[in-house]
């Protein structure tokens, strides 16, 4: 006997799961509704969490729109081995029917509290380019320091950088191998944390690696050389960073 879904119940189940349980679904809600809601579920090698996000404001299909955002999740595991509650407060402004978006998110998560800015061209997390950087937030160079992601519907490619904190306003550097480099000081320890992930995603699954050499290439050799910022030390000679670590995430979640 073969079951035929005449009422389309399974179809609506998958639509609801996409809209309310994925980051692209949450972003698409913002285009047509003054209120958007998402359940935040993450499970993998780098993040394990459950929580929610809410966005209220003008639908982004309007020529110019703005929204206020709030979220809260409990992490059993996060970057920097953080465990505990994370609160997210922020706002976003969009133009051209939502094809250009700028947002700021304040993360409250103990030691890892900071403000990060994000620029999206296209539909965020679904079609186009997303770039987040703490330079556009609180002006730092630490923790959730950069994430770049290209989205092609269910397909995506991303690269994220997470480091220690050299200090928010006051930082010390030394000349190492001819390059100004952040060093530990009373203001912070830039070498306390290291993540340099590169991944490919399809639907709710992301697979890639976490490598200090990847972090050093993108952050130091590409970006910081280009803008003239100090380097973060290459720690790939240390045992814990010598090899690539697997990066596997389930949940189709946000950039951070």
Task: Using the predicted structure, report yes or no on whether residue 113 has a pLDDT greater than 60.
Answer: yes
Task: Report the C-alpha gap between 205 and 252 in whole angstroms.
Answer: 7
pLDDT of residue 5: 63
Which residue(s) pair with 42 in the sheet? 49
**Domain range summary for the chain, segments of one domain joined by +:** 11-250
Provide Rg for the chain, Cα atoms. 19
Cβ-based neighbour number of residue 108 at 10 Å: 14
pLDDT of residue 141: 96
Task: Provide the mean pLDDT of the chain.
Answer: 96
Confidence of residue 10 (pLDDT cuts 50, 70, 90): confident
pTM: predicted TM-score of the whole model, two decimal places = 0.93
pLDDT of residue 197: 98
Residue 93's SS3 state is strand
Percent of the chain with pLDDT strictly greater than 90: 93
Residue 184's SS3 state is coil
């Amino acid at each position: 006997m073969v079951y035929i879904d005449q009422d389309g119940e399974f179809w609506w189940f998958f639509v609801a799961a996409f809209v309310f349980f994925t980051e692209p679904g949450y972003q698409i809600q913002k285009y047509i509704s003054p209120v958007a809601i998402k359940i935040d579920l993450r499970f993998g090698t780098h993040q394990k969490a459950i929580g929610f996000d809410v966005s209220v404001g003008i639908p982004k299909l309007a020529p110019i729109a703005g929204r206020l955002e709030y979220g809260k999740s409990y992490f059993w595991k996060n970057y920097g081995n953080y465990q505990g509650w994370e609160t997210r407060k922020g706002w976003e402004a969009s133009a051209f029917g939502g094809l250009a978006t700028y947002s700021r998110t304040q993360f409250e998560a103990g030691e890892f509290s900071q403000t990060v800015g994000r620029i999206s061209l296209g539909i965020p997390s679904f079609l186009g380019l997303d770039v987040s950087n703490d330079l556009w937030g609180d002006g730092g160079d630490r923790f959730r320091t950069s994430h770049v992601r290209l989205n092609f519907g269910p397909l995506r490619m991303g690269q994220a950088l997470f480091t220690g904190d050299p200090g928010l306003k006051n930082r010390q550097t030394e000349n190492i191998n001819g390059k100004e480099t952040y060093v530990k000081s009373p203001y912070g320890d830039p070498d306390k944390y290291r993540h340099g992930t590169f991944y490919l995603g399809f639907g709710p699954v992301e697979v890639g690696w976490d490598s200090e050499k990847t972090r050093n290439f993108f952050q130091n050799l590409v970006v910081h050389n280009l803008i003239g910022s100090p380097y973060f030390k290459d720690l790939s000679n240390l045992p814990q960073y010598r090899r690539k670590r697997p990066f596997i995430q389930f949940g189709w979640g946000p950039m951070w």
